[in-house]
Structure 1
């Protein structure tokens, strides 16, 4: 049983490292798009702005698990100073079980139909001249 938990922990550590590299690559891409091309070379387009917006969204999504794994998430620490050392892991587990998981589940459940329909009709950006639909 302990070996299974250790294997799961190693797998999650590898996944977190992969997310870190993917988030870092996305951040580098955003910097190249926004700063270097637009401000350095004076070239830009609506497609690049759209790509930068999507890159930022992907960066945030990939950075949240990494931030949580490293203990960098934001919390209100009114009670933590007076509580024993085991308080923080317990508070994190309660927050994940009762707040974050249901909210993430609700977001996925409520939005999945719209996402599937958008992919089905190959909907592109609403901005004229922006990124077109991606047809696999």
Structure 2
């Protein structure tokens, strides 16, 4: 189980690095938006390339930060149910959600998006506008990378949840299971788990 947790932590580290790097797209996106507004408003110069770069950066930012946002519990949950469940019930629901929904969805997106990006690369797809950006395969590839990172985040969280649910209590306490404060157990969870090895 310790090895499983180490693997989960390694995957989490990779996803976190990519998510933090994606955060640097925010100042770049802000700069491009300001440039576009200034050029259009004061100099009456419209740039298709700048407008396309805005949505390219915006798309890349959100796609590359998906996995990191998942680790930070920034995705939408149905709180009306989730908050009332015990920590172990939350862990079970999340584990089954990862296995039955998240990973198959990521795999399907990767399957279709990789073909989508590869075709754009092979035909040299560029913007339909003559003044637009070339190499449309770059932004299409971020779809592949973003869902690959989200899949890694799901695998990491799934492994951590398995340690939390099935591992020894001493190890499970260090899983850092989210959505419940400082640690994976509260006092009632620890009392009801005395029978675990």
TM-score for both structures, normalised by structure 1: 0.82
| 2:68 equivalent to 1:66 | yes
Q: Which residue pairs with 1:77 in the alignment?
A: 79
| SS of aligned partner of 1:78 | helix
Q: Which residue pairs with 2:37 in the alignment?
A: 39
Structure possessing the higher relative contact order (Cα contacts under 8 Å, 6 or more residues apart): 2
Cα distance between partner residues in 2 of 1:63 and 1:107: 16
Cα distance between partner residues in 2 of 1:94 and 1:66: 20
Q: Which residue pairs with 1:95 in the alignment?
A: 97
Cα distance between partner residues in 1 of 2:13 and 2:83: 32
Q: Which residue pairs with 2:120 in the alignment?
A: 118
What are structure 1's unaligned runs of at least 5 residues? none
Cα distance between partner residues in 1 of 2:13 and 2:73: 17
Cα distance between partner residues in 1 of 2:93 and 2:5: 22
Deviation at 1:54, TM superposition (A): 0.9
Q: Which residue pairs with 2:13 in the alignment?
A: 14
TM-score for both structures, normalised by structure 2: 0.59
Deviation at 1:58, TM superposition (A): 0.7
The change in CA–CA distance for 1:109 and 1:59 in structure 2 (over 3 A counts) is same
Q: Which residue pairs with 2:161 in the alignment?
A: none
Q: Which has the larger radius of gyration?
A: 2
Please give the root-mean-square deviation of Cα atoms over the aligned residues, in Å: 2.3
| 2:24 equivalent to 1:25 | yes
